[in-house]
């Protein structure tokens, strides 16, 4: 297991416990080089799940790539390792529930955004800004306003109109 901080290859396991109703194993690790601490989640994934990318190419689903994407989106935010794991697990659960062996990268992006939205709004907006490739600041503002507005105010209710 490579250290996410310095890329050194050896870590020691500090703690191992079951997570997600025993469907996953969480390991607390420490880098033997720089001492950085991080958690890994190991879940049992079906073999042979493929991701269809935007250009139509298929590649094998990689939990590691998913984790890297989540970490990249959340690195400057006040988000804990636990929260990152929570997002990862939520997305993995969706992946597991799929009957089709091919999932679009767009679908995975949507699951990730939904999970982030529940946990950390700043991380969500950051991720969304990359994922949705906002063309300008107006798009970003709309996204933030949508987060702040209570659902009742967003509903287009004309029933009270005279
Ligand atoms: Zn390290």
Torsion of CA 9, 13, 17, 20, to 10 degrees: -20
Give the pLDDT of residue 155: 47
How does residue 45 score in pLDDT terms, banded at 50, 70 and 90?
low
Region 109-124: mean pLDDT is: 85
Distance 150 CA to ligand 1 centre (A): 43
Answer yes or no: pTM beyond 0.95: no
Query: Which of 16, 18, 44 shows the shortest CA–CA distance to 29?
Result: 16
Using 50, 70 and 90 to split pLDDT, how confident is the model at 135?
low
Separation of alpha carbons 64 and 66, rounded Å: 5
112 C-alpha to ligand 1 centroid (Å): 27
Neighbours of 11 (CB within 10 A): 21
Distance 9 CA to ligand 1 centre (A): 8
Which of these, 4, 43, 11, 44, lies nearest to 28 by C-alpha position? 11
Q: Work out whether strand 24-31 and strand 37-43 pair parallel, antiparallel, or are unpaired.
A: antiparallel
**pLDDT tops 80 at residue 27:** yes
Question: For 114-121, what is the mean pLDDT?
Answer: 86
Q: Measured between alpha carbons, how far is 145 from 39 in angstroms, rounded to an integer?
A: 33
The structure tokens listed for 67 are 């984790």
Q: If you measure from the C-alpha of residue 8 to the centroid of ligand 1, how many angstroms do you get, rounded to a whole number? A: 5
The answer to whether residue 86 scores a pLDDT higher than 60 is yes
CB 43 within 8 A of CB 89: yes
């Amino acid at each position: 297991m490579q250290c996410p901080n310095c890329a050194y290859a050896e870590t020691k396991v500090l703690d191992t416990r079951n997570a997600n109703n025993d469907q996953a194993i969480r390991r607390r690790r420490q880098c033997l080089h720089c001492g950085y601490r991080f958690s890994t989640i190991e879940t049992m994934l079906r073999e042979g799940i493929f991701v269809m990318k935007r250009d139509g190419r298929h590649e094998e689903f990689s939990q590691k790539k998913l984790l890297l994407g989540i970490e990249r989106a959340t690195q400057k935010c006040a988000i804990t390792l636990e929260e990152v794991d929570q997002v990862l697990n939520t997305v993995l659960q969706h992946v597991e529930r799929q009957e089709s062996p091919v999932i679009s990268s767009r679908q995975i992006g949507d699951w990730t955004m939904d999970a982030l939205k529940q946990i950390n709004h700043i991380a969500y907006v950051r991720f969304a800004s990359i994922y949705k490739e906002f063309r300008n600041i107006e798009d970003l503002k709309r996204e933030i306003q949508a987060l702040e507005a209570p659902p009742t105010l967003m509903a287009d209710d004309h029933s009270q109109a005279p």
